[in-house]
Structure 1
């Protein structure tokens, strides 16, 4: 089991929790639609919040995280709950910045992580250790540590993080609920995102991460993003493990459909599931994710005015799905 976490260095994240506000959520019923999240276009990863940096031990080394304590007065009762949030390929814990304070205000603590090899989390040198089947048991140990500390864990994985979250549940992670966000049943289908991985792989292998960053700059991909956020996106790419980007990229093009295994696991352990995605997701088609939800007998929601990352594209509408659903799961858990 993972060792207890240690606090991070506040100076390293001073911009992350300056002025952490709950956007007035304290006066609202916790089950109500969360108050508007005022993150301007392209500004989400720098959205202010009250989380503090921590380091969580894992079998693959320390994991950088952001933890926010729940407003206990808003909890549904029973043991405390934590939403454990896993980012996608080339992402980081900062992708969840707009969600942190509203979730905590609804009585659910938050722990957002950089997966091994992502941004501030060191990772192994072997590409194969970044596949979902290898990272899943790592996350399962983090979940077990949270559970051992008396917390009920609501596990959410975005995109590649969803494949890892699924593998964690299959590895026995004692979760009280599973949310797969903009994540599919297996490998990415043919399309722009898969083509991008095909194109970038030889560049990354032969020329390195700086050339990948230069290509993203030249493509105009970040043209509508706030310069302060672009600085973060460049920095986290530069600090991410090349082996991790290659290993995850390969898995995104080869991961098997393990939905049948997941169905058996969640049914046996009575784990409620939610599949949620942007209504214009351009990675896994919405129809494919809806079918996966049907197979899982999971709740399904499509977030308007969002594509592959509703956490940064329309966080308020995403919270309108997550918060009431999670609170219902926790209440049902108490009632048995």
Structure 2
């Protein structure tokens, strides 16, 4: 689960809704007067655009227009359109549709958002015309670790008989340092998840194949940014994936699964130095 310490929205960050030919998506955006490029940030499992709030002002100050979204089935986006499908390939098509509205983008996918972003690139007929680059943030080459698979199997079992909101007491963070305001937000965000979106995402993370070889030939610049310590994917697997891809690799010690929250300045530096290059 993505982690959040604050939901305070800086004055430079605007809340918007983005219309595409695949539906309407809730987003945060920040931009300098004359941006040198655009970045699209895709959250992970049970995540949302709020996961990227610590990054948005700094990325804009570095010269980039940044857009962070709620994926289909998440928080304020909801179903996005009539008769929605939450299959990974359809979520990837959503990301591609957003790029069609925003122009060529530096694509950043966190955790399950990395899985979706990788699919978006692989499914693009001409990746270089749509994507300026791809960064995988705390995402590994294939299925999640065995301990994470076990937790996802337990969640899948629970989803068969229990409404999503009723599962919150079992998922509520135990860290006493999380404010009541953030806990209230996390509870509300969890309750708004589409059950089918959670189910399909969990199943995909359990079974995802290694697509490293296919991605290596995509023809766009690639980077991997990985916070440690990490339990969802082993760090050694992410580092090996980066080597096989010929991608820039940045380890962010102390960032854990959500370096965008715990070490945002290091993530901003990793992203902007890669984009600038």
User: Could you say which structure has the higher strand fraction?
Assistant: 2
CA contact (8 A) 2:223 2:249 kept: yes
- The aligned residue for residue 119 of structure 2 is 167
Q: Map 1:33-72 to 2 at 5 A.
A: 43-46=5-8, 48-72=10-34
Q: State which structure, 1 or 2, has the greater radius of gyration over its C-alpha atoms.
A: 1
SS at match of 1:234: helix
Q: Give, in angstroms, the shift of residue 227 of structure 1.
A: 1.5
Rounded Cα–Cα distance in structure 1 between residues aligned with 2:106 and 2:187: 30
What is the match of residue 188 of structure 1? 144
| Residue equivalent to 1:273 | 222
1:134–1:184 CA distance, 2 compared to 1 (3 A): same
Report the Cα offset of residue 156 of structure 1: 0.1
Query: In structure 2, do the counterparts of structure 1 residues 315 and 49 end up closer, same or farther at CA, with 3 Å as the change threshold?
Result: farther
Secondary structure at 1:214 match in 2:
helix
Contact 1:136 1:165 in 2 (8 A): yes
TM-score normalised according to structure 2 size? 0.91
Question: Structure 1 residue 283 and structure 2 residue 232: aligned?
Answer: yes
* Contact 1:209 1:237 survives alignment (8 Å): yes
For 1:1-336, list aligned pairs within 5 A. 43-46=5-8, 48-72=10-34, 80-123=36-79, 129-147=85-103, 152-172=104-124, 173=127, 174-191=130-147, 193-217=148-172, 220-266=173-219, 271-328=220-277
Whether the 8 Å CA contact 1:153–1:175 is kept in 2: the answer is yes
Deviation at 1:146, TM superposition (A): 1.4
| CA deviation vs aligned residue, 1:247-303 (integer Å, no higher than 9, x gap) | 11111111121111111113xxxx111101112111111110011111110000110
**What whole-Å deviation, never above 9, does each CA across 1:290-319 have from its counterpart, x for those lacking one?**
111111100001102111110111112222
How far did 1:48 drift? 2.9
Compute the displacement of 1:107 (Å): 0.6
On the 8 A contact 1:54/1:65 being kept in 2, the answer is yes
Structure 2 CA distance for partners of 1:206 and 1:65, relative to 1, 3 Å: same
Q: 1:7 matched to which residue of 2?
A: none
Whole-angstrom distance in 2 between the partners of 1:183 and 1:201? 21
Over the aligned positions, Cα root-mean-square deviation in angstroms equals 2.0
**2:4–2:51 Cα contact (<8 Å) kept:** no
Aligned partners of 2:107 and 2:135 also within 8 Å: yes
Aligned-pair CA distance for 1:69? 1.6
Distance 1:122 1:210, change over 3 A: closer
Q: 1: distance between equivalents of 2:137 and 2:58?
A: 18
Gaps of 5+ in 1: 1-40, 329-336
What is the TM-score with the length of structure 1 in the denominator? Answer: 0.76
- CA displacement at 1:222 relative to structure 2: 4.6
Give yes or no for contact 1:90–1:118 (8 Å, CA) kept in 2. yes
Q: Gaps spanning 5+ residues in structure 2: where?
A: none
Alpha-carbon distance in structure 1 between the residues aligned to 2:227 and 2:109: 14
Runs of 4+ in 1 over 6 A off after TM superposition: 124-127
